[in-house]
Structures are given as structure tokens and as C-alpha cells.
Structure 1
């Protein structure tokens, strides 16, 4: 049968294009890597066509050729378009099979294990859905010589495919014909829909970031007087949040767009940083009463520094009212009145411009304002973060396909 057979010539040479019916049996799919945007797949590629030169009605049975005789029969020269690497050695040797039926129908099956590229988009990460493809095409035959056609039940998935990070939601099949200078090449494309599992990222990113953010709010319950404790807690939470954000970015390619995880982490870092800034403001206001809260130049002018350091009630070197009023070019009238009132009270005299607050009253005023900011922060920060959580999870979970 093969004596006058020329394997270099396609079936129906100079006639209509030979039709290759293809079926893809996916045996294994895994090792989906976001860093390199690829995955490994093991498939059985089954191709079926008619070669009238191989008809053998005198022997009414199927002929099976071994791998040593496959080079004596014409085979389609297909290749995988999105292949990055192949040649994985099988432990069972050369996995090829060719059957010839009496009517000249040829069934050719071969096992492939390949590393294929997968175009990914991580804007929804970690609630994203990726569609990885497998594209096959003829290398040298245009559509005038060879047509690739999906067979009945074109893509078959093995029932035991299980991915640790993804859920295989389904498959599709379509065509992807390519127009080139020498002609049009038919192309078949199988698509695998992969939905990322969220559980791992809840435990490793979302819950820790929530705990760090809540921990930063504990500074609102620490007295402003205990500055070392609040500073240590604030800086620790800021550094921890920044480190957690950096770890999440390391496992991804270097893209410039913002992911859903980035939005979450940046908002958490903003809350933590805001708690630290809030303490700086509270501490500044809380300590504003020191030496009546006036600049050194003012205190030296009216003699308050001497009074503050004196324990014997000695003379203070207080300027006269006329001298103070002539100083309005440097200090406001309100400041001058308050200074003169404070010094007059220190000397046991009546205030020259009516009643003003004492040092104890000024101290209490600033401390009350500082503590009021802490009280407001105890409500504003958790409430705002709660509203952000509601908006974030409502929007992204509505797009999540798991």
C-alpha cells in the first residue's frame, strides 16, 4: 500500500484543500504563573482527515502504524502559535498513534506537554478572571491547501483537573485565522477560563492589613502625654503596612496600572499614616501651653522667661505699657494684652486690660482641644474605614465570577 505512496504530497494534490478535523483532549492544566504569564498544559491532539491513497478495502480492518513508520505517511505540519517552550520528555517514550481505516480515513493522535503564554490582566487582582488560550495553526499550508476544522466535541477536559490558585470555570473554542503575505492560514483556538481563588489573599493580605489599620487606631486611646508609646506604635504600623504592600507587588509583573489590591493597600496605608499625623497634631496642641505658648522673642521682651525660672518672686523686668504699645509693629495688640495680663497676675497686680485667662486656664484649654481631637478621631477613622469596606467589597464582589 505504501510502495507508490509519496508522503511529501498532500492528499488530493491540485484539488480542493484537505480538511483536518481536530479534537483537543486536555489531560492536565496547571503551573499558571502570574510573574511570567504562562502555564503548562498536557494535551492529546487528535487529527482526522481522508487520504484516498490509503484505501484498502481488500483488508477490511484498521491498520495501526508504529512510530517508526509514521514518517512514511503524510502528516499535517501543525504547530502551536502561543508556545513558549516544549520538548518535555515523557516517561512512556514516544506518544504517537496513527490509524488507517479501510475507506482511507486517517486518525492521528499525539501527546504534547507545552509551556504556553497566557495574556493576563490584573486590574481586578485578586478577584480577577484570566482566559488562557491554546492556538494551533498549519506552518506551511495556506487555506488553499489545508483547512483546520473543529471536530465534534472539540475540547474535552479531564475530570481530575484541579488548580490550587484558580477555578477552571469552563472552556470555549473558536477560530483565529491569520492573514499573511503569502496567504491566509487557518487557526484553531481553545480558551480556558480561570477564576482566581480569593481565600489565600484574604488570609495573607486583607485580614493582616485590616488588623494593622485597626492597631494604628489604638493611639487614640493613649494619652497625648505618653509620646514614646504613640510614636512607636504609629511608626511600626506604617512600616509594616508599607512592607506588606511591597511583598504583594513582588509576585506580579512590573505593570503600571493599579490593581484592586493596590487600592486596598493604599487606603489602608493612608489610614495608618493619618493616625500618625493625627498624633503629631494632637501632641503639638497638647504641648502648646508650655511657657504660655509664646515665641522666645516675646517671652524675653516681657520678662516671662525670668518669671518662669524664678522661684523667689524676684523682679521680672516687665516693660511699661507704653513700650509694649509701641511694639505693635512687631506683635499684635491681642498678644500684647494677653502677655501683660499674664505678667500682671504673676506679680499680684490687676490686669491692665481687663480679665484674661490664667496660665492654668491656657494649659487646660490646649489640653482639652487635643483630647477632643482624639475623641473625634475615635469615631471618624473607624466609620470612614467601614464605609470604604462596604463600597470596596460591594463593587468588586459584584464583578467577581467565582
Structure 2
């Protein structure tokens, strides 16, 4: 508690050596590293101090030392660790900065000075504006603390932005360890949403790799002429997202799509509406708007196909009326016969699973079923006259589209039975 007080604290020695017993002994260092000018502190001293306060055996990734004077008077020394602690994803675990008031240690884990999504940050804050008898309850309702919290949040985000620009490899190391926690930011910190978005990293069809190393600025720099939206897809895992039929038209047009496969991603995107004045669009949700990348000829062909095959879509809708809210001709597919689309305001598959895991009721919603009328299977279906066989083939296409979207079938046994009947017919 007294290690960093500026004057020496002296006590009688309790040494077992007879010649030293009872002698006066200074028990504190009487120096506080964070109070010294930055020019007087070596990098090794910063690193050693980090290990002391964080109980870490590794050096920090980066740090920021700052003194504020004026309306508020405080000093902060903040560190970003290299490795994530084992309890990083436990939002209830103790976390926060070491709080000093006028160099007197007040408490560990003062969580009021940083938002929860920055809980990986370690460091010290020393304020001259708080009372020495301050408690956690007082901190929660103190306007000074709120002002410091705003400044500390900005400082950590600036520190990360600087690291990303200065050393992409080091920032990638940070992202691999703490990226999932940073994704909590857009929902928790509206005022810094744009800044947080700039720090996010994603997998992408541009690289085709699972590594999340594409920034939104990278994506925007590669946008096609006439493209006005940032496209993304969510799925339970990278392989399912990468092989999704929803990406077919984007490959054909050469449009990059962000691949989101972390469990938190769909929830995060519910709060992240735009970046750099460009809206996000889930490629598997609602009507697909390709902007000016889609030519007038494309749009005309789409409208003509919808009119020409109206009877087919109505027959499929009748056959699958218990399972779908709408059947329509697609502008998403080039190779697959059909796909499922989530309604504009319906809950996605990831969010449903999160709610189910939490024991919450999931609202019932039916998908939109889109068909590719240029596909041989759909053309074969259109030529089918028998109602029973038409319903059977429609159900098989629907179940296949369900599997391709990464969801589970409600009745796998029925799907297997239908498939077996079709295979037997082919064999005969």
C-alpha cells in the first residue's frame, strides 16, 4: 500500500540477525514509475513494471503512458498483454486497473475506468481528484470517474489503432488473442462504434483463408465500381460459410464478401449498421441489392424470369406451405438449384442458437425459399405433372437448401426416406 508514496516509510527492523534487530529500515521504494517523465524511463523498466502489476512472465505487446493536467489531474500507464488469460471470456471475473489516489494504493481491479469489452487492458491510474477513502460504490456514481473512463477508453482504442498502423503482425497477434472480446464493443459503446469497427478483422473471400486479417478499410479499398454496400455472410464455421450457395453470384461478379463464423458475429452485426457511410448487408437476408454492379440487363432478366415461372413458384409454395413464408426466383445463385433466405426482420440461425443455449424462447419464423430456374433439377421439377411426386421433389430441394445453409433438418428421417425412394426409381 505504501510502495509508491513519495516519502520514505521507516519501521524497526524485524531481522533475525542480532546486529540488525531493532534498527530503522525503509520499507518502501518511494518511487512511482508512472510519475516519472517518459523520457527518463527505459523500455525495460516499463516491461518490468508490467510484469510486476500484471503477474505476467511475458513482456506486454504495447503500452501508453500519459499525464493529464487541467480540469482533471491524473496519470495513467496502460498495457496490452500478449496473451489472453484463461478467464477472458468470463464477464464476471475480476478485471480493471490498479487505482492509486495521490500515489496511495486504493484497490486492485477498479473496473469503473474501462468498459467491459476492453477488460484485457492492464495498468495503473493515479488520480489527484478522488478522495483517499473512495469505495467501489462511490466510484460508480462519481462524475470525475465517468470523465476519466471516457478518456481511458479513447486512449486504449487509439493505442490499438496506432499498433495496427505501425505493426500489422503485432496487431494480428493481438487480434488472435483478444479479437472476440473486442467484438462486444459495437453493442456496448455506441459513441466509439466507428473507431471499434476500424479495429475489427475478418476472414474474406478475397483471401479465401480462415485467418481473420482483413480490415473494413482493406475491404472498401477493393470495392467494385458501383458497389455501395459491404457484404458479409454468417455461419457456424468458416467452411460452411465459404461454401455457401449465397456466395455464387458474388464470385461471378467478383465482389468480395466478409466471412463471419464466430458465435458472437451475428449479434455484433445487429449493432454495426454502417462503416465509413457504407451500409452492411447480410447476403443471406432479405432482398439482395447489388447496386450498380447489377446491370439493367440483369434486372430485366430477373423480372422476366419471375413472371415466366410464376406458376412454378406458386406450386412449390403450396407444396411447402408448412415450411416457407415465400417462394421466389433467385438472383443469388449460379450453380445451386435453391437456397434459403432469412426475412429482413427475422432472427438468423446464429442468434437462434445463442438464445436456445441460454434457455430463452425463440420466435418462430419461416425462411424464404429461392429457386434457380436455370438449374436442371429445377427445370425437371417444373416439368413434373404428378402432384405427389412434385411435392416429394420440392421437399428434397428444400431439405438440401437447409443443409447447405448449415442448419439441421427438422425431420432427417423423412429426408433420407425421400432420397432413398428417388434413388430406387433411378436404379429401376
Decide: shared fold, TM above 0.5. no
Q: Whose Rg is larger?
A: 1
Report which structure shows greater RCO (CA 8 Å, sep ≥6). 1
Q: TM-score, normalised by structure 1?
A: 0.22
Please state which structure has a larger fraction of its residues in strand: 1
